[in-house]
Structure 1
Amino acid sequence: MRLAVCAEMVFTDLPFAERVERIHAAGFDVEIWNWTTKDLAELKKTGAVFSSMTGYVGGSLTHEQDRLLETAEQSVHVALELGCPRLNLHGTELDDRGLPVVPAYEVTGRMWLTAARTLEKLAKLGERYGVMFVLENLNAEVDHPGVPFGKAADTLALVEAVDHPQLKLMLDLYHAQIGEGNLIELLGKAFPYLGEIQVADVPGRCEPGTGEINYPAVAAALRELGYDGTVGLEAFAATDSELALRRFRAAFTNEGL
């Protein structure tokens, strides 16, 4: 398994490029969010390996789909510039607090069909450029109320329906624990469709070892499944960012703290 760390959530007292440098120096790949707020030239100078980035700027799977597809193609060109293989998607556009710009507290059958058709177009876009789009589950109970297709069961159903190699799951186990639980069984069901896994502990959304999730058991289950993809730490540091990175590495490798 490759390990990555989200630069948006650790070393937050540093300028962004310096965060990326610190993560890279520690031996991790780097995840970023909204590329429009970043100095791309500075990011390239860091020499970091980028694992994933936000794959759209506006629009939704069920409304303003043209806007979503337009900004997804813009994002693809940035991903190619950075050498980033995966572009992350959500059910709808989120504001700077992580809340849906257009909440959907009830998802209709028509919305499901529209979402699947939009994802088919995104998969073809990924095929054209040789990148992968990954659809992330988000919890509606704590962090993202009103987000459509938030549960891992929803994102898995959509990815299965499209059934294209350039569309996979960004399976976030923090969100799944809040929304559904039963993580190891979920990993088994989702395994054929995994593009990347993200982790944080519950409650608090901090690094493994600070909450209720048994991440060493999760890591063992992934090894048993034969998972050799990326696991990304998308978590705040409970106390110190260096310690958070060491705890994350210890949970998914045989290295101690």
Structure 2
Amino acid sequence: MFKLAVCAEMIFRSLPFVERVRRIAELGFQVEIWDWTKHDLTELQQTGATFSSMTGYIEGDLITESGAQTLLKTAAHSIDAARRLRCPRLNLHGTGLDGHGMPVKPMPAVTGPMWLAALHTLTRVARLGQTAKVVFCLENLNTTVDHPGVPFARAADTMALVKAVDSPNLRLNLDLYHAQIGEGNLIELVRDALPFIGEIQVADVPGRCEPGTGEINYPAIARALAQAGFRGTVAMEAWASGDDELALRRFRNAFSV
């Protein structure tokens, strides 16, 4: 029913990174990676894995002209890396994140001019994606637990921007872990967002571990997605609560409808 992917940054962490990728692929999942500059792309190619998504920029932001120029430049480099890995989706955030997930430029408030600047930058990103035949996905984040200070963080924010740009080359990376912390009402959220989704990411709350370890009823969400006609990629971006392979079985079971 769905294509299932697993984030190699968070699973099988006792293994070297390339071995994590290989093991995830051997178990029948696609593979998500984060900052591609930290990995040997040739080694990743040689694993034979199918890659679902990767970070689509290295530096920059959506709201300043210098930040936008930097984001577009590093997005172009990311497209080159994505071509090597045959990765169809490139992930974006409201601002650059440091190595600990904190915003490089935290924002106490987002103003009207910032919204207009973000819309302009994302329109340029979508044109870049159209030319390169890739899809950029704007991810929602939570500002309560993991990413305080990130602008345009809520799913409502990312959806508003993607709708306004109105391009098939800019879609949502709808992260349901972040949405549960920030907004809740997940089944209605996925139904509303369905026309704009490029990929869905999942982890349970609290703890950011695999489905079935917290409060989110992921089998119900999977049924709602199936009934709505979603046939795309669902990626587990979560820590294993214990055994890694057991965590992946729980993920697969939650989305087997």
Return the TM-score normalized by structure 1. Answer: 0.98
Instruction: Say if 2:223 is the partner of 1:251.
Output: no
**Alpha-carbon distance between aligned partners in 1 of 2:178 and 2:48, rounded to the nearest angstrom:** 31
2:137 is paired with a residue of what secondary structure? Answer: strand
Partner of residue 107, structure 1: 110
Partner of residue 28, structure 1: 29
Correspondence 1:111-122 to 2 at 5 A: 111-122=114-125
Correspondence 1:174-253 to 2 at 5 A: 174-253=177-256
Amino acid of the structure 1 residue aligned with 2:158: T
CA offset at residue 240 of structure 1?
1.1
Partner of residue 129, structure 2: 126
2:53 is paired with a residue of what secondary structure? Answer: strand
**Alpha-carbon distance between aligned partners in 1 of 2:116 and 2:47, rounded to the nearest angstrom:** 42
Q: Which runs of 5+ in 2 are unaligned?
A: none
Instruction: Say if 2:62 is the partner of 1:61.
Output: yes
Amino acid of the structure 2 residue aligned with 1:124: R
**Alpha-carbon distance between aligned partners in 1 of 2:207 and 2:154, rounded to the nearest angstrom:** 19
2:5 is paired with a residue of what secondary structure? Answer: strand
**Alpha-carbon distance between aligned partners in 2 of 1:26 and 1:116, rounded to the nearest angstrom:** 40
Q: Which runs of 5+ in 1 are unaligned?
A: none
Please list every run of at least 4 consecutive aligned residues from structure 1 whose deviation after the TM superposition is greater than 3 angstroms: none
Length, aligned pairs only: 254
Instruction: Say if 2:157 is the partner of 1:138.
Output: no
**Alpha-carbon distance between aligned partners in 2 of 1:218 and 1:155, rounded to the nearest angstrom:** 20
Amino acid of the structure 2 residue aligned with 1:110: P
Amino acid of the structure 1 residue aligned with 2:190: L
Amino acid of the structure 2 residue aligned with 1:107: V
1:228 is paired with a residue of what secondary structure? Answer: coil
Write out per-residue CA displacement over residues 116-158 of structure 1, whole angstroms, 9 at most, x where no aligned residue. Answer: 0000000000000100000000000000000000000000000
**Alpha-carbon distance between aligned partners in 2 of 1:59 and 1:104, rounded to the nearest angstrom:** 14
Percent identical pairs in the alignment equals 65
**Alpha-carbon distance between aligned partners in 1 of 2:164 and 2:229, rounded to the nearest angstrom:** 24
**Alpha-carbon distance between aligned partners in 2 of 1:107 and 1:61, rounded to the nearest angstrom:** 12
Amino acid of the structure 1 residue aligned with 2:38: T
CA offset at residue 74 of structure 1?
0.3
